[in-house]
Amino acid sequence: MAWEAVAAGVLVALVAGFMAWLAGFGILAGAFDARFDSGPAQLLLPAGMASLIGAVVALAAGGFTAARLAGVRQRREAIFCGLLTFSTAVVVAVLVMTQDPPALVAHGVGPVGNAVEALAARPSDGETGDARDPLAALRAEVRGSLARQPSAGAPEADADAAAATVLAGISEMADAEAEARAVEAIVAASGVTRSVAERRLTEWQIANDRAVRGERRATAEISGEVAGACLAAFAALLAAMAAAVCGGMLGRVGDSALEIGAI
């Protein structure tokens, strides 16, 4: 196999795909979401169709170029040449995405860019601090409440231990014994009465349950978006792979009707 021909096919595929994406964006500018959201329904939208058609045409051109420059004549060799061109182009696209390219380049490398971008960006959505993390905010509130009202002569280590005990008591997995220890910790750390400590523990338990439910919903939404992006990319890449194989078969030297320069 002539790897120089495969490299030329990959180069043609990447450049043709980038140009097709630019053309689609220019023609269907109003149909492209400014945030470049992706999901399984994206392929049914005008922007998704433009991206899919661009990827198919680009990989077909790349497979044709690789097969023609390699001088293949057999159908099996042409199919193998198209698959190599497709696989190498996907690897190059993934490598480009790992370098944190500009958005224009990221979405110009084809449908694989959307999936890689989703996998890389979505997990970091929750890493934005306590303001958007109810569980972290609740833990900070518990520690702050116990620290603002320390019992006389209580060292800082005791305050941290009391906070850990209270957090264990408000967990949804806490049993009656853990809740009793949490109440005692609140009384010892804050100096309040037992009834006040029990009421405060109940309020924190309700807030913890609400935060846990919200976190689970957010995780499910993020997982759904990532899965949708990967499913859409898989469908688009499957079509692109078939196009690369067809392009390789059309690029066989024996097909005189498609000879470069033929009249």
pLDDT for the residue 247: 92
Give 243's pLDDT tier (boundaries 50, 70, 90).
very high
Q: How far is CA 73 from CA 13, 41, 64, 66, 67, in A?
A: 21, 40, 12, 12, 9
pLDDT tens readout for residues 63-88: 999 999 988 888 899 999 999 999 99
Instruction: Return mean pLDDT, the chain.
Output: 76
**Which residues, including other chains, have CB under 8 Å from residue 39's CB and lie 6 or more apart?**
225, 228, 229, 232
pLDDT at 257 over 50: no
Most confident of 55-64, 103-112, 189-198, 229-238: 55-64
Give 111's pLDDT tier (boundaries 50, 70, 90).
low
Tell me the average pLDDT across 49-62.
84
Q: Is the dihedral of CA 191, 195, 199, 202 positive or negative?
A: positive
pLDDT at 200 over 60: yes
Tell me the average pLDDT across 253-261.
55
pTM value is 0.62
Relative orientation angle of helices 46-70 and 75-97, to the nearest 10 degrees: 130
Phi, psi angles (nearest 5°) of residue 33: -70, 135
pLDDT for the residue 245: 93
Name the more confident of 218 and 101.
218
CB contact at 8 A, 76 and 198: no
pLDDT tens readout for residues 128-143: 444 457 778 888 888 8
Tell me the average pLDDT across 23-46.
58
Please tell me the distance from the alpha carbon of residue 228 to that of residue 126, in angstroms, as a whole number.
Answer: 19
